Amino acid sequence: MSHLFPKIPFQLAKNRWVTVEAEFGDRQRAVINKEGLAEARKCISAWPGYAATPLLELPALARELGIGRLFYKQESERFGLRSFKPLGGAYAVQQCLMREVAIRLDRKIVTSDDILSRKYDTIVSDLTVTAATDGNHGRSVAWGAQLFGCRCVIYINKTVTPEREKAIEAYGAEVRRYPGSYDDAVREAFDIAKRENWFVIPDTTDGNVIDAPRDVTQGYAVMAAEAIEQLPDNKPLTHMFLQAGVGGMAAAMCGQFWLEFGASKPRSILVEPEQAACWFASLEKGEPTVIDGDIDSFMAGLACGEISSLAWEILKPGTFAAITIKDEVAPLVMRHLASGFNDDPAIVAGESGVSGLAGLIMASFDEPSRQMLGLTQNSVVLVFGSEGATDETMYHHIVGRPWQEIA
Ligand SMILES: Cc1ncc(COP(=O)(O)O)c(C=O)c1O
């Protein structure tokens, strides 16, 4: 075991439903496809402040972990929202407004530019979008609503921190606290949307509402597409460790690499908090499986007990393995990244942002896990630092310094 990280128990299981030869078929293409990515890139790259986020390399940590190369896609600055999430929620708001305005005008096509330039402001300002969130998705939907000029009501569950609540309000949204879990708040947002004729922008689905969660996933795929362009092409990626809540982010990453590289795609390994391991349980059973009880996690964005059925279409046949980790691992990794270990860059990373890397660290120091995953000195691994200091107070408390002092 490394002197850097103590031995902390974790669970790893191979996904029995994956085959190397599995083709990217129609069911996967219904979620992730070339046209969807092209539309998402066109829309998102036109938003003010768009820039591809940096792809960092961590050679010192790679050496410590006994792998060849380690890449870290740094999302802590995306559109100033400090997570990758605007790619999904705000994009889905724009697509929803395009569809609705077209219906109201009886016109076939309303463009993304029409919505961004506020051409139909009189219609849009009368529309309300709503979503449930454990923090980042709601911030993204609220930011999108403000950018495009519609009303926004966001449902948060009982554990969302006051700082994350304020960050959503800062974008002009009304925030309502719901006394249950994330999954309960999701249901409440659906119900109220139906009663009030609002537009629900979920980042998950049980299969009934498809458009918005599919748009969310296609927006996330922009992050994968950027990474594919940024990675060196002389040595292909072998593994991605992907943190999963409802699974939208992981599905977009796994799906986009699968679409691009076919059978030579990297192995995707899902990482979840052990008490909210709905993916681990679902892959074990071979069917979507709900986790009951207290699913609260320090990794707040991953505290989900129900998977998204859209993500299931990609991750059931596409995921190589799943890992569950303990909450206590995440602060260790946050502090490690903030320290700028040896010559590695210092990195600001929040609780859910580090979990993919935390899964890699756990597996790397355990020989049977290395063998199961095929991790070697030649492995080239990508993780997504999916959030920065989305809760500044929490970040300061965990790392011992304000995020502005890092890097
Ligand atoms: C920072 C961060 N990373 C990862 C995730 C997981 O995304 P998903 O719920 O699509 O699996 C979330 C979800 O809220 C998040 O906030």
Residue 83 pLDDT > 80, yes or no?
yes
Whether 235 is a known active-site residue: answer no
Mean pLDDT across 43-52: 98
Q: What are the φ/ψ torsions at residue 128 (nearest 5 degrees)?
A: -125, 130
| Domain final position from 202, 233, 267 | 202
Rounded Cα gap, residues 356 and 272, in angstroms? 8
Q: Give the pLDDT band of residue 59 (cuts 50, 70, 90).
A: very high
Q: Give the pLDDT band of residue 351 (cuts 50, 70, 90).
A: very high
The answer to whether residue 339 is domain-embedded is yes
Q: Give the pLDDT band of residue 372 (cuts 50, 70, 90).
A: very high
The answer to whether residue 227 is domain-embedded is yes
Mean pLDDT across 53-74: 98
Rounded Cα gap, residues 23 and 19, in angstroms? 9
CA angle in degrees (0–180, nearest 5) for 13-326-304: 80
Are 307 and 344 within one domain?
yes
| Domain final position from 202, 226, 242 | 202
Q: What are the strands, taking DSSP E only, across 38-113?
A: 55-57, 69-74
Q: What is the pLDDT of residues 127-180, one digit of tens each?
A: 999 999 988 999 999 999 999 999 999 999 888 899 999 999 999 999 999 888
| Domain final position from 175, 202, 229 | 202
**Interval between CA 123 and ligand 1 midpoint (Å):** 32
Mean pLDDT across 88-112: 95
Alpha-carbon dihedral angle through residues 171, 175, 181, 183, given to the nearest 10 degrees? -70
pTM beyond 0.75: the answer is: yes
pLDDT for 267 = 97
Count up the domains in the chain and report the number. 2
> What's 194's domain CATH number?
3.40.50.1100
Tokens representing residue 239 in the block: 């593994």
Among 42, 119, 126, 134, the active-site one is: 134
CB atoms near residue 273 (< 10 Å): 28
With DSSP H G I counted as helix, E B as strand and the rest as coil, what are the percentages for the chain, rounded to 5?
A: 45, 15, 40
Rounded Cα gap, residues 225 and 228, in angstroms? 5
Q: Give the pLDDT band of residue 287 (cuts 50, 70, 90).
A: very high
**Interval between CA 384 and ligand 1 midpoint (Å):** 11
Among protein residues, the one whose CA lies closest to atom 13 of ligand 1: 301
CB 121 within 8 A of CB 102: no
Are 109 and 236 within one domain?
no
Q: What is the pLDDT of residues 171-220, one digit of tens each?
A: 999 999 988 888 889 899 999 999 999 999 999 999 988 999 999 999 99
Mutate to test the pocket of ligand 1, among 278, 280, 306, 352 (most ligand atoms within 8 A of CB): 352
**Domain limits for position 292:** 11-83+213-405
Q: Give the pLDDT band of residue 2 (cuts 50, 70, 90).
A: low
Q: Which amino acid is at 276?
A: A
pLDDT for 233 = 80
What 8-state DSSP symbol labels residue 53?
A: P
pLDDT for 268 = 98
Mutate to test the pocket of ligand 1, among 77, 81, 83 (most ligand atoms within 8 A of CB): 83
Rounded Cα gap, residues 152 and 400, in angstroms? 35
String of b and e for 23-53 (b: at least 16 CB within 10 Å)?
A: ebeeebbebbbeebbebbbebbeebeeeeeb
Q: Which amino acid is at 249?
A: M
pLDDT for 1 = 52
The answer to whether residue 1 is domain-embedded is no
Residue 234 pLDDT > 90, yes or no?
no
Sheet of 380-385: strands edge to edge? 11-14, 319-325, 267-273, 239-243, 380-385, 69-74, 55-57
Q: What is the pLDDT of residues 253-286, one digit of tens each?
A: 999 999 999 999 999 999 999 999 999 999 999 9
